[in-house]
Amino acid sequence: MSERGFTLNERGFTLIELLVATAVGAIVLLGIGGFYVATVRFAEQSHSQTFLQRQGTMIIDEVARQVQWANGLTQNPSAPNNCPADPSLRVVQPGVVGSYCFYSSDDALYEQRPDGNILNLVSGSPVPLTVHDVTFILDPGQKRVILSFELRDDQSNSMMFTVDLTARN
């Protein structure tokens, strides 16, 4: 025993033991931090894909709603049919004065309605979206159109959509 009544083995931690414990703790904390960062990135990616899919589905639903009642479809019509840009699709419905026009311009997809209102079909998403590579492939004999487009967000995520729509009339 020493003067204070402690043995040599009861003095506490050595500097080496303290450094080893600190290094192990730091490695564990770095692993937990890396897992947290990866989880947050995965959640952001998942949300971005959800927004892209939701907006793409809404666009397809709107175009399908107008095409299903069409008695006339025209691809890339010019004046006097008033589709302001190419590519475009003009949809004429029975009993409706005027026509619907879907067209791509300035990285957006627009719907011009018979009353003159123009809707941006990519607006309303919680993240900024742009539309690229829009194509309308028309089979006028069967009143059928294939719509294809790519949606991109501000995080460099993208999703391609293709749908085959047929008029009921």
In a domain, 28, yes or no: no
Model pLDDT for residues 122-150, shown as the tens digit of each residue: 988 888 899 999 999 998 777 899 999 99
CA dihedral 102, 103, 106, 107 (to 10 degrees): 70
Taking only the tens place, the pLDDT of each residue in 22-81 is 999 999 999 999 999 999 988 888 888 888 999 999 999 999 999 999 988 888 876 555
Residue 10 lies in a domain: no
Run of H or E residues at 10 = none
Alpha-carbon distance 144 to 153, whole Å? 29
Please report whether residue 108 resides in a domain.
yes
pTM, full prediction:
0.76
In a domain, 11, yes or no: no
- 21 lies in some domain: no
Q: Which helix (H) or strand (E) holds 45?
A: helix 15-67
Max distance between CA atoms of the chain, in angstroms, equals 108
Contact 91, 136 (CB under 8 A): no
Distances (CA, A) of 113 to 14, 85, 101, 106, 167: 80, 15, 7, 19, 18
